[in-house]
Amino acid sequence: MAGESAATEAPAPVSADPVAVEPAREEPVAEEPVAEEPTPEPAAEIAPAEPAAVVEAPASEPTSVEAPVAEPAAAITPPAEKSVAPPAIGDSKPDASGAATADAGANPSADSESSADSESSADGKPKRETTRVLGGIITAITADEVDLTLDDGRPAVISRRNFDADGTDPTTVFNPGDRVEGALLTREDPKNRVVLSRAWALKRQAWEAVAALAEKNELVSAKATGKSKKGLVVDVGGVRGFVPTSHLELEQPTNLASYVGQTLELKILDCDVAKERLVLSRRSQLLKEQRKAISGLLSSLVVGETRTGKVASLADYGAFVDIGGATGLVHLSELSWSRVRHPRDVVSVGDEIEVKILDVKIKKKRISLSHRQVNADPFDAVPVGEIVVGAVTRLVDFGAFVDVGGGLEGLVHITELAEFRVFAPEEIVTPGEEVRVKVLSIDRKRRRVELSIRQAAIL
């Protein structure tokens, strides 16, 4: 009861003092915050601005006054924050960031026609502004700027620096009465004119055109404008693109400067409008043309015909020969009628040779060629029973090989080296020695010739 009387006595001196009336008004606000007007609530925030007056009033009874002062202060804080938020949106003169928000929300029609969307995302951060293109009729034009009236009636201006990327004189391109478009840069200039950029509008239109070609997977014509260490810089209708060195030719080019100024047909590999990245390729188109040419060439080849080709490369198992756009293989066994250990013993890269087409597989794109069959078969020049003179080429355990002409080797078995028994071929002949031999037999299928020194010596 003593506490209740003390609490009852406390309001009496507060009501007597005009400064203490403010805490008395704050108590109903804490109980019924919705019924209070938004206007008096900001006034409640001003009350803490006079801390000396509030402290002096309950100076006689500090214990009883401290409790009620602390309670309304805690209760007033939430409604004060609530009441401040709506006036900030409706306020005609907020801070710099709030001005744009209030303007965008108050004038939706202007926002739909302008380039800036000031809406906020879910996390409270402003969305990225998007540039829009506006059009209008030119009313006046000078070398420095273009005055026009937009479709919605607002005046606008395009300065020469925003006319195009090259700084062209506007009077050489347009006349009063012509229609022109530009990207919105700001709402208005000091003369209350909307500022536009024709250069940005042209750039945007160029990117949209390139993106459409990329979706259709169509080729584009590009002019080489420069070079770098890693490739070629090109211009595609006003859009800057890049062609890597590895995508210029079928083989790595060595002089990029020779391409500058040329117009090339390119395929789009990567087109990212947001990042303004455009990567193109010429090699893919060259490969496509090469495959088409090869298919046509393979269809025209006839087995058995002879063609002239150029040795493109060598391998351990044969030589690759280019016969007019298609490459065929001359196997090691088809290089010469004589025995060949490596293709370099017969041909070299860059040599032009005659080849005969042995087989063509269009689906697998394979061509089998022969170089030895272009020349006469030396077997036809060696009749059975004749005696010929040849040089010993090599010795083996079972006999000696002798060159009988035309690169053809025959075997003299160890039993045909002499009339008597021979234990090793070197007992009778040595490599390089010329001997008379008789042709005993010819096996065309196995490509073998049997010779005899013993029988030649008898005759």
What is the DSSP code (8-state) at residue 423?
A: S
Establish if 292 belongs to a structural domain.
no
- Could you give the number of structural domains in the chain? 5
Q: How far apart are CA 308 and CA 133, in angstroms?
A: 62
Same domain, 271 and 328: no
Same domain, 80 and 11: yes
Give every CB contact of residue 79 below 8 A, 6+ residues apart in sequence: 29, 30, 33, 36, 41
Q: Which amino acid is at 80?
A: A
For residue 18, what are the domain limits? 2-90
Alpha helix (H) residue ranges in 162-222: 198-216
Same domain, 143 and 155: yes
Establish if 269 belongs to a structural domain.
yes
Residue 146's Cβ-count burial label (10 Å; 0-12, 13-18, 19+) is buried
Establish if 452 belongs to a structural domain.
yes
CA distances from 421 to 183, 290, 418, 430 (A): 106, 65, 7, 17
Q: What is the pLDDT of residue 131?
A: 67
Establish if 209 belongs to a structural domain.
no
Establish if 211 belongs to a structural domain.
no
Using an 8 Å Cβ cutoff, are 382 and 315 in contact? no
Same domain, 263 and 306: no
Q: Which amino acid is at 210?
A: V
194: nearest Cα among 203, 183, 210? 183
**pLDDT digits over 72-84, tens only?**
443 344 443 333 3
Domain end marker among 374, 391, 413: 374
What is the DSSP code (8-state) at residue 120?
A: B
> Which segments of the chain have a pLDDT < 50?
1-129
Domain end marker among 374, 398, 425: 374
Same domain, 369 and 382: no
Same domain, 449 and 390: yes
Using an 8 Å Cβ cutoff, are 226 and 153 in contact? no
Go through the chain and tell me how many residues it has. Answer: 459
Using an 8 Å Cβ cutoff, are 71 and 37 in contact? no
Q: Domain with 276 in it: what CATH number?
A: 2.40.50.140
Establish if 212 belongs to a structural domain.
no
Model pTM score: 0.46
Establish if 407 belongs to a structural domain.
yes
Using an 8 Å Cβ cutoff, are 387 and 375 in contact? no
**pLDDT digits over 116-156, tens only?**
333 444 444 444 345 688 889 999 999 888 999 999 888 98
Q: How far apart are CA 429 and CA 94, in angstroms?
A: 116
Same domain, 270 and 311: no
158: nearest Cα among 135, 177, 132? 135
The packing angle between helices 2-9 and 62-90, to 10°, is: 50
Q: What is the pLDDT of residue 187?
A: 63
Give every CB contact of residue 125 below 8 A, 6+ residues apart in sequence: none
Using an 8 Å Cβ cutoff, are 73 and 30 in contact? no
Establish if 109 belongs to a structural domain.
no
CA distances from 168 to 143, 159, 161, 164, 289 (A): 9, 11, 8, 7, 40
